[in-house]
Amino acid sequence: MRRRAGVGAIQRQKIQQDKFKEKGSEIQENQLEQMTLQMEKFREKLEEFAAKHKTEIKKNPQFRKQFQEMCASIGVDPLASGKGFWCEMLGVGDFYYELGVQIVELCVATSHRNGGVISLEEALRRLNHRRRQDNQISTDDLVRAVKKLRVLGSGMEVVATGSSQFIYSIPGELSMDHTTLLQHAENVGHMTVSSAASNLGWTQERVGRTVDHLLRIGVAWRDDQDRPPTYWFPAFFQQCTTAE
Amino acid sequence: TTTTTMTGFEWPWQYSFPPFFTLQPNADVRRTQLDAWCALVVSWGRNNNVSQIDVTEASSLPVFKNPSISRSLPADSIMVVLEELAKRGNLEWMDKTKRRGYLFWRSPAEWGQQIYTWAQATSHINSVCTLYEISQGDDTINQ
């Protein structure tokens, strides 16, 4: 009787498996090599494109946004490193770095009256007002610059509340409750503890706690000449956001 | 949008903000609030040629109330603002009773700075001038 199993058979099986593995690896390696070559070519083309359209990228917010998206789709982040082709060739890093600095300056300058909450719309308006006509920025630029700042640990972030987006430059974190209440505040302009409680389905105590924190950092102000007291928010008060 | 009176005085945004007429509980926020109040009283005073403030009549001064939003600064808060102005050199009490005070649109410190700058520009440093020379002299025609 022939016996399939046996040391010899096992060894032959192993050799066969190894050969398959080797072939598999070979194929994989080839594929990887191919892919890497393709990516290299693509990257080269992208760099060519960037160099050719450098001026356009710097001056046109729409174009800049599309370029960013194109880069993102192949996993390239022109803002990622401070050195290298992207930063040096394009100065894209510089662009967002400088914008980041301007945003910080704006937030610092206005935080005494809005408590560190400024709408993207107001920030855009004020920043573009200071810039030349051929050097305007878009909302997308702002969001990217703030994201970059956030990575650097500056404590800034863009938060979408309600229908608008805001740049928060408040030291310390804002909890979900804070942002939820602010979202509600943006819609109603001003509120009492009980009106907010019933609108949000919270206890009055929870509203009180949340408002207290916002009062402490100057995001909310209290009006005692209303019965019951009402709470207002400079960041959402039209005359404040449009003031000089 | 800013609200402007016939005299062309521009009220700051805070003037339309109801909570501005309530002294805020938090110390830091209150400080910026008082900054705004002091600046408002001084610029309103300058614009309306008000150089004296009587505490008992202060509540009726237009600067401390905004009828369009039905808000007015309560008497004790007005006192806080006046005391703050005194601290900054923009108000000088006429006597210890603190019932009336002179309102200085420029504090003595600010005047000092102005005069010194003028003196530097007209080369009067380390020389002696009379008040007449400073306020009416040839060098001050455009000041």
Put simply, the chain A residues between 100 and 139 with a CB less than 8 A from any chain B CB are 112-113, 115
Residue A15 parent element (H or E): helix A7-52
Say if residue A2's pLDDT is above 70: no
Model pLDDT, residue B2: 47
In this complex, the residue of B12, B16, B24 whose CB is nearest that of residue A222 is B24
Q: At what angle do helices A120-130 and A92-114 cross, to 10 degrees?
A: 120
In chain B, what residues touch A225 (CB-CB under 8 Å)? 18, 21-22, 70-72
Q: How far does A147 lie from chain B, in Å, by closest CA?
A: 28
Chain-chain contact of A113 with B32 (C-beta, under 8 angstroms) = yes
Q: How confident is the model at residue B22 (pLDDT cuts 50, 70, 90)?
A: very high
Q: Looking at chain B, which residue has its C-alpha nearest residue A217?
A: B29
- What lies within 8 Å, CB to CB, of A48 at 6+ separation is none
B74: left (phi over 0), alpha (psi -120 to 50) or beta: beta
Q: How far does A216 lie from chain B, in Å, by closest CA?
A: 6
The ipTM assigned to this model is 0.78
Instruction: Flag whether the pTM goes above 0.80.
Output: no
Rounded distance, CA A142 to CA A151, Å?
14
Tell me which of A119-133, A157-171, B80-94, B99-113 is least confident. A157-171
